[in-house]
Chain A
Amino acid sequence: MLLSGADIIVRTLIEQGVEVVFGYPGGQIIDVYDSLYRCQDEIRHVLTAHEQGAVHAADGYARATGGVGTVIATSGPGATNLVTGIAAAFLDSVPLVAVTGNVPSDQLGTDSFQEIDITGITLPITKHNFIAGSVETLADTIREAFRLAKSGRPGPVLIDVPKDIQVAQAEFTPGEPVPAAEKQSRADVTEAVETIAQCNRPFVYFGGGVIASGAEQAVTELAEKIDAPIGCSLMGVSGVATEHPRFLGMQGMHGHYASSIAMHHADCIIACGVRFNDRATGDTGRFAQGAKVIHIDVDNAEFLKTVKAALCLKGDVGLTLARLTAALKKQERPDWWDEIRKFKAREEEQIDHREGLVPRNIYALLNDYLTASTPVVTDVGQHQMWAAQYLRFEQTRRFISNGGLGAMGFGMGAAIGAALGTGERTVLVTGDGGFGMCLTELATAVSNKVPLVILVINNGVLGMVRQFQTIWYDRHYAGTVLDRQTDFVAVAEAFGAKGARVRSLAELQEAFDTAFAADGPFLIDCAVHRDELVLPMLPPGGSMDDIIVKVED
């Protein structure tokens, strides 16, 4: 059938299985919106308050569902407003397809109204990007974008479509959803098998790559076989159930003590789908010096980038782990577990037993309201680390957090996307800083009756940066004291949502009761003292020997 380029875009999205597309209209994408209007029975468009909200929503949708998130924006400012969200998806390897309109081809490069070089701008933060060159190849370009987004190590792809190509017509033949490139694992595992067989203190360490690969079970099976503890990076949280007997939790800068220390003392680290970011390793020169690292990843470029692994196994993490586990003999390591129990006992000594509205109690109470399928989304900062430390997860893809870019303002959009993708009531844990950045998306949540429990951990300061200032900058609280007069409950109400302010655990419980039964978004403004710290803490550039578990007043 003969269709306009705009129709081809929308038809191809539908063909690729897109059910929800997030976006914001504008002059150079108006034809695509006209097509969305005509196809509204087949594809749902969710209008956000800001393009940044739209791209974070597409990202949250993808993280929660495992599918590809999609977002549409106009040229110029519409496109540049996507940049933070595309970067967030890129650094966390989230499959995303962004479609932007642009000025007609003959005006490209002339600085015409709302023209911007968005493919140039997004070059280093996309897996690939395209300027659609002709209406005839448009459908295949979009299909290729989907294939790239979900193949190998997933990531965002952008297609910039000049207005004339949206208007021009071409023959369109509907196709099938393009599959991701076939998963492969050809690396020789012999040496890895020998290394593991000969080691005494193995540690299975996994990250977001395991979730992307669907290798969660493969991780626990390997750990069972070689009698190893399991730890994860921030991006791995929820990949293995929190209560799994082998799971020691998140390691790294603010990780669980036992997990970080066990990794530090391991003599063999089997690293699965991780990229050894500085927040995970501290000083790489002093990182787990006694350990042989076996690094398994689908992306060749992650090998030897920061940590010099002894063995690098390229391939799909799940398939490679399955081959590795099959080749290994069952082992038992009671001595290693004796040590691990000591690490855990030391971690327990550090538990915060204070009563009242302190972080640990707030999150413990929240745990009572979470079901196995509740997605929990965070913003970035102290509340995010507490969530990773204290919250309990049973299912994979239920902890959604922007690890790599660490973009404050991620939460609101991502929570909307996660809720719409899963159909589940979704919890957003945020801070007064991060929430303040993108709270306009309350409008989107209200308009779409998105069931959100928005827990604002409100300490009146930018707590994470302030924590650094407390410890290393002589308490010079430059720029981190907000002390705003913002009434978040009134803000929620002004947007048409409901809310409650809580100043005690009893009030928090009452608010949770209401929030978890509400029709749409419900905001809880939860006061926390500004001097609360995230502990343990690794000084930037330090090693696990320098771990700080207590800060004196």
Chain B
Amino acid sequence: MITHALITQAVAIAEKRAKRPGASVYSGRAMVMIERALYAAKSSNWLIIVSGFVEPVLYLMAFGFGIGQLIGDIEDGSGNPVSYAAFIAPALLATSAMNGALYDATWNVFFKMHFGKVYQVMLSSSLGPMDVALGEISWALIRGATYSVGFMAIVAPLGLVTNAWGLLAIPAATLIAFGFASIGMAITSYMKNFQQMNWVNFFLLPMFLFSGTFFPVSVYPEWIQVIVKALPLCQGVDLVRSLMLGIIDINVLGHIAYFVVMIAVGLTFTTVRLKALFMR
């Protein structure tokens, strides 16, 4: 049966782990959140997961190869002609990373927060709020990265990756997914009801359509360009497009810095918010 010495083996292990400096915020065990997510994923609805991946592929077919026939080659942003499909493929790759990340970081997190009560329980173990935040965000980014790998597997054989830099599109998409997962969970943690959650979708659709996805942002007047270029998806589209079309310049570093900041801000706000919600 269960034996209770004064301090048991388990308590000793748990306590040793808990003695890390800063353990009340981060115990260094975000990985166990991924383990949990894998258990949960086994029984989740695969159709929903697959549909998120299929969406950008459908856009590529309809716009890239359908409407692309009517458009012909266009200018890639640095003066070289490129097929319309090759122009929008990087944008759709960035979008698919975003969709994958947001699927988990928004609706799933919202349900766990308000109905599953999963986080309260985690925080009454010796996990800290940052373990929870980082773990959930990491799981979301894994989905985002998986979507983008899947998309790449379709795009590359079609000859839409024109140079070696294009291989870096996968790590870039992972970075983009990380950024969106991080900011997505932070925003979700402030949402109180379904109506507010719908605002997220309301914002996402125009961002998807107008972030240089289907046409270059240079068509806008100067002042609109400034706004659009500040949007995270536009940054992501530019980053992946630069890599896949081999337009490597200083801007690439700028885009990377943008996502690093996005990750840091999202992670900080999520951690603070989890603490405020469940540890007061």
A and B co-occur in one complex: no
Residues of B within 8 A of A (CB): none
